[in-house]
């Protein structure tokens, strides 16, 4: 309760992470030529992640004007940052193929699960609710943080369901004769969105 800047920096790092996740999903969607449904599903998750990023940024800014630095996020977020860094590395591969796509789906599933757990922890401990009450008394600021985090928990659960749908679309009914999923990829030259530098990998 006496260290709002610490909480604000942590939430700011979550905002940065969600922004990176949005870029990863959108770039993977760009790389897929077909089927269109998979492209659309990945893009829908990207849009949700970007919205999460903006909400988290607003919450962090409401708590404190202390900004998180990307270099601090690996230490603050640990496993979460590692997963995003791994996905970033994989999605920028020039030779992305069906096996890589399957591995990425598993990594995405782990990311959405870990994010859901992180947001659930905030709700369960009521950390932000207590912080919001304190801030409201001191600075006359009202936060709807708990509702926001509950909404994001529902989104992460839905994202995992979308991953299952994508797996079904690339399953037995969508297989080529050689057993590989019917997912076609564009070349890296066709990418339209900029990814953050890969130098933020955690150690």
**pLDDT tens track for 120-145:** 877 665 555 666 565 555 544 445 66
Which residues neighbour 197 within 8 Å (Cβ) at sequence distance 6 or greater?
none
- The full set of domain ranges for the chain reads 4-171
pLDDT band at 148 (very low <50, low <70, confident <90, very high): confident
Both tokens of 141, joined, read 């600021």
**pLDDT tens track for 6-37:** 878 888 999 999 999 999 899 888 887 767 88
Which residues neighbour 41 within 8 Å (Cβ) at sequence distance 6 or greater?
162, 165, 166
Q: Is the pLDDT of residue 172 over 70?
A: no
**pLDDT tens track for 86-100:** 888 888 776 677 777
Per-residue pLDDT at 145: 63
pLDDT band at 187 (very low <50, low <70, confident <90, very high): very low
Per-residue pLDDT at 202: 37
* CATH topology for the 4-171 domain: Ferritin (1.20.1260)
Q: Is the pLDDT of residue 115 over 90?
A: no
Mean per-residue pLDDT, 56-82: 84
Query: Considering the entire predicted model, what is its pTM?
Result: 0.73
């Amino acid at each position: 309760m006496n260290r709002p800047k610490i909480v604000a920096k942590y939430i700011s790092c979550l905002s940065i992470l969600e922004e990176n996740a949005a870029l990863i999903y959108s770039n993977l969607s760009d790389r897929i030529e077909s089927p269109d449904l998979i492209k659309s599903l990945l893009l829908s998750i990207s849009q949700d992640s970007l919205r999460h990023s903006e909400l988290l940024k607003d919450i962090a800014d409401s708590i404190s004007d202390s900004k998180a630095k990307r270099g601090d996020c690996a230490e603050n977020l640990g496993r979460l940052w590692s997963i995003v860094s791994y996905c970033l590395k994989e999605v920028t591969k020039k030779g992305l193929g069906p096996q890589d796509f399957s591995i990425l789906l598993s990594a995405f599933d782990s990311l959405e699960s870990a994010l859901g757990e992180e947001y659930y922890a905030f709700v369960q401990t009521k950390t932000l609710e207590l912080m919001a009450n304190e801030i409201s008394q001191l600075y006359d600021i009202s936060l709807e943080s708990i509702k926001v985090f509950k909404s994001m928990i529902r989104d992460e659960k839905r994202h995992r369901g979308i991953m299952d749908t994508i797996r079904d679309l690339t399953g037995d009914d969508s297989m080529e004769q050689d057993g590989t999923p019917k997912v076609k990829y564009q070349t890296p030259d066709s990418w339209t969105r900029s990814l953050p530098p890969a130098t933020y990998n955690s150690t």
